[in-house]
Amino acid sequence: MNDRVTKIRKAFKERFSGSPVVVRAPGRVNLIGEHTDYNDGYVLPVAINRDVLFAVRARADRMVDLYSLNFQARASFSLDQLEPDKEQSWSNYVRGVAQQLLREGLPLTGMEGVVEGNVPIASGLSSSAAMEVAALMAFQTLGGWEMDGAKAALLCQRAEHEFLGVRVGIMDQFISRLGKRDHALFIDCRTLEYEAIPLNARGYVLMIADSRQSRELAGSEYNVRRAQCEEAVTALQAGLPAIRALRDVTPALFLQQNWRLETVPGRRARHVVSEDDRVLRAVAALKGRRLEEFGALMNESHESLRFDYEVSSRELNVLVGAARQVEGCAGSRLTGAGFGGCTVSLVREEATGEFERHVRELYQRETGREPIFYTSAAEDGAGVVQE
């Protein structure tokens, strides 16, 4: 990251002169716990080594003047007139966060600066959450006030809901703000309680493979899956009147009551119920340093997403299948909403070269596409980049 920090500082001096403060917020990859968040369930993401950087300096007025190195574009707006910008849509994440901070009564100062990110856009690695959290860190650092990390994540989520009109869950903002190096973050999406879980994965790295397959179905099918889960809850409440969401249904209760469900909602519910159970078992496996068991749970998760939740694709299945053929790969699964995007695999460090070679070769042969690989450990969440 040092080269990127040097580059953004240089870009700031060329555009504004003087020395900025630099803040960062990372993207994320979810290790296990997919499509459980909107069912009040559990997730287990990590922050990755790709992030969004803001190099900023306070202004005496209420103007925000930003330049994006990625888009080679400028966006300027007043904190007293916050409206979406259709042309420079990247700036709407900053505007939305500013709006929410002002509603909290926080003293915001104008700022000028340069923005740069290397979280791939539209790949399922949460570039939007990284942008929101980095914007909040910029306003916080220049304003000299503090905000609890969980509250900051919720505020960024509201910004995306209300200013950008995207009904995201809480996982992405939570891990971007609260990630911890060498740890995953276990999040209860109902209570918002969270715990940093040591990965205990010395000798292993996370290999993220981008299928480069468009996720155009993800939005519409996401809404369909959500409705099917709600349908399942309504049907199950006939026998389990106390449940509020699928999170309240244990695997044993599901086996007793699933006769109440139509076939498709039943399969959707079976995924969510089993996935919540897998997350809990995955946390126990990590705490017990049982990485083989953890990898097996990743594999089970993918098969459940593939057959019960039906959010995988041929491309993702090829990537996962190729990964599992590599000796030294403990487990592999799709990550994110599905219908394209990325897979995540837990791989021994000495096997990463063979992993990339084999997966690339098989994927190209089967799909005609060239995958993109990212290697990461679990990184820290957002903060100020030290000099």
Is residue 172 flagged as an active site residue? yes
Number of C-alpha atoms within 13 angstroms, CB side, residue 48?
27
Computed over its alpha carbons, how large is the radius of gyration of the chain?
21
CB 35 within 8 A of CB 272: yes
- Annotated catalytic residue within 51, 172, 210, 277: 172
CB 186 within 8 A of CB 42: yes
Q: What is the separation, in whole angstroms, between the first and last Cα of the chain? A: 12
The encoded tokens of residue 120 equal 């791939």
- The residue type at 238: A
- The residue type at 345: S
> Please, what is the Cα angle at 14 between 115 and 92, to 5 degrees?
25
For residue 243, CA distances in Å to 108, 225, 361, 382, 386 come to 43, 19, 47, 36, 48
Sign of torsion over alpha carbons 104, 107, 109, 110? positive
* Neighbour-count burial for 332-355, b at 16+ CB within 10 Å, e otherwise: bbbbbbbbbbbbbbbbbeebbeeb
CB 137 within 8 A of CB 157: no
Sign of torsion over alpha carbons 281, 124, 141, 181? positive
> Please, what is the Cα angle at 319 between 367 and 362, to 5 degrees?
55
Q: Which residues are catalytic?
A: 172
